[in-house]
Amino acid sequence: MALFKKKAVPQTDEPMDLESVMKKFDRESNTRVWEGVPKIIVNSVLALFSLFCIVVTLFLNPMDEVRLSSFMAFIVLIGYLVFPIRKGHQKVNSMPWYDWILMILGTSAFLYFTFNAYEIINQRSLEVYQLVIGIIGILSLAEICRRSVGLPILIIAGVLVVYALFWGLSNPDFMRRLNSLVKSLFYSKENGIFSTPVNVCSKFIVVFIIFGAFLERSGIADFFIKISNSIVGGFSGGPAKVAVVVSAMEGMVSGSSVANTVGSGSVTIPLMKKTGYKPEFAAAAEASASTGGQIMPPIMGAAAFLMAENIGVPYSNIVVRAILPAVLYFAGVFIAVHLEAKREGLRGLTKEELPKFLPLLKQSYLLLPLFLLVYLVGTSKNSIQVAAAISIIAVIVVGLFNKENRITPKRIWEALAAGGQGMITVAAACGVAGIIAGTITMTGLATTILNGIVRLAGNQIVVALFLTMLCCIVLGMGVPTTANYCIMAATCAPILIQMGVEPIAAHFFVFYFGIVADLTPPVALAAYAGAAIAQANPMKTAFTATKLAIGAFIVPYVFALSPEMLFVDTTAWEVILICITSLVGIFGVSAALQGWFLCRMPWYERILSAAGGLLLIYPGLVTDSIGLGLLAVVLVAQLFARKKNKLQML
């Protein structure tokens, strides 16, 4: 709770300990410390898990129950190896006896299902020992989720399981209710742990996580920072614009708001402060841009794969439709930092501080694996798993030519180990999200929630959208984006679809508002991480970041009410027109929020600018015409005001 106290923030030039920032705001970073031979053993287990996932995904075709239970057995095994029981228990080469017991029991429970899957799924009911094994498996996964993800999602799951056990299931006999619940949650792929979220995670997400781990070791992050500095660093307020461009690039391969904020923010935030940005604004700019990485195709924080599975469309279809909303989001942040720089009269980096552009072009070959991935996914000639695997090979080949970060056998092994570790949090969250969705379905709560919101909204779609937004943001304050999307896709998205929202727009809506929780007070982890680096006030940073990310609050309503923004039922000409008018509209809204266009804007011009911008963002000839007219009035007024200001200065 110390984050919410109003106190002076010391301003020093001492470098921030980035590792401590990550451990404070990113639960995934609170891992055990292994050194020497134990580190080699643990990394080998993680790397072998990555290889296991690649082989099973690409070359084998076991029964789903066998594939999924063996996958989760590995997750439990490595989960206890990597994550201690709580923060502060990261003693070197130390794993207490009770963690060994929990690891063995949990792994054995999942492996029991692996080797007996066929017999169990054909049983009418479970034996007592099978019931105990199922409960052990569920609890062991819950503990891994608590350590790697956090407590809030477990509280939700626990409440729903208790409700299902005591009130939600109709069977009068308690043991039969327990038997039915455990069989559904642990010994079935329809509901519970092995349902859609874990299925998608084990088939698609894991290969892309490994791909991202290889890309990270190719030196592409450093290239993104240098090329962004070279392109936009010299403009007014250049470092803030660099933060936006870098985050958009990193978002193509990464899905962690906090990791993006700390990674690129360690470079961009000090530069922003150096060129004159206030600490709160510098931290907010980086946090809002980094959070947008989760909506940036092609990976989109792993939710794109789940969305494709839920809607029943190709993954490439999701990626294409995500492009314009993502561009609008980053354009909004970019415009906001530009207007702030103009208002404060901030400079960019000097010519001496800028990296040379032409030499950097020689490193552009680092982008080839990413372009190859997009091409292979877009052509749909191969499965997306194959596309990711080919792209991993491309990273290795490309890395051979990078003198600064040359790919070696050791780096390949490290990338495989990092990929294995990166799967723990996603898989654990997906497993518990499956339990939540399963209990909601089994007990009929989904129908109850649907009917309740429909009645509360009074068949007014805007009210239903607003209530859904609140649910997503509140849930997102304690639940990772992927799990948040799984839960909302099972509960709120069907409500919006029933009320007439296009299915793909409904799923994008809940996805977007699950993400902005990383910026929205009181739990705004990305903003707080940025504030720690900038040594800024956390709450001021969070509110500023929310203002900068206004596009994430506006755009979802637009495509929910008018799915043309997602390229649904549109022509090529309409798509071009929507892109142009939406970008102009985002500029109008950003100018209104910043209070600056060509010069300072009085309140009535800000209202006109906001109204005109919103009308332009909403697709339609009438709204576009009115919006352009309002912005034209603001532009003329600004031109006269600026001319008057210049005359007064003479």
Where does the pLDDT of residue 76 fall: very low under 50, low under 70, confident under 90, or very high at 90 and above? very high
Average pLDDT over residues 202-218: 88
Where does the pLDDT of residue 612 fall: very low under 50, low under 70, confident under 90, or very high at 90 and above? very high
Lowest mean pLDDT among 352-366, 470-484, 581-595: 470-484
Instruction: Give which of 427, 426, 446 is closest to 194, Cα–Cα.
Output: 427
Average pLDDT over residues 239-243: 86
Average pLDDT over residues 18-25: 68
pLDDT in tens, 31-62: 888 999 999 999 999 999 999 999 998 888 88
Query: Higher confidence at residue 503 or residue 446?
Result: 503
Q: E strands within 579-628?
A: none
Buried (b) or exposed (e) across 292-326, using 16+ Cβ within 10 A? bbbbbbbbbbbbbbbbbbbbeeebbbbbbbbebbb
Query: 222: which 2 tokens?
Result: 């450093």
Highest mean pLDDT among 120-134, 212-226, 293-307, 339-353: 120-134
User: pTM score, two decimals?
Assistant: 0.85
237: left (phi over 0), alpha (psi -120 to 50) or beta: left
Buried (b) or exposed (e) across 398-421, using 16+ Cβ within 10 A? bbeebeebebeeebbbbbbbbbbb
Lowest mean pLDDT among 170-174, 499-503, 517-521, 566-570: 517-521
User: Can you give the pLDDT at residue 138?
Assistant: 96
Query: 552: which 2 tokens?
Result: 């994430």
Residue 1 has pLDDT above 60, yes or no: no
Residue 137 has pLDDT above 90, yes or no: yes
Query: Average pLDDT over the chain, rounded to whole?
Result: 85
Q: Where are the domains of the chain?
A: 570-650
Where does the pLDDT of residue 478 fall: very low under 50, low under 70, confident under 90, or very high at 90 and above? low
Query: Higher confidence at residue 255 or residue 481?
Result: 481
Q: Taking a C-beta distance cutoff of 8 angstroms, is the pair 293, 261 a contact?
A: no
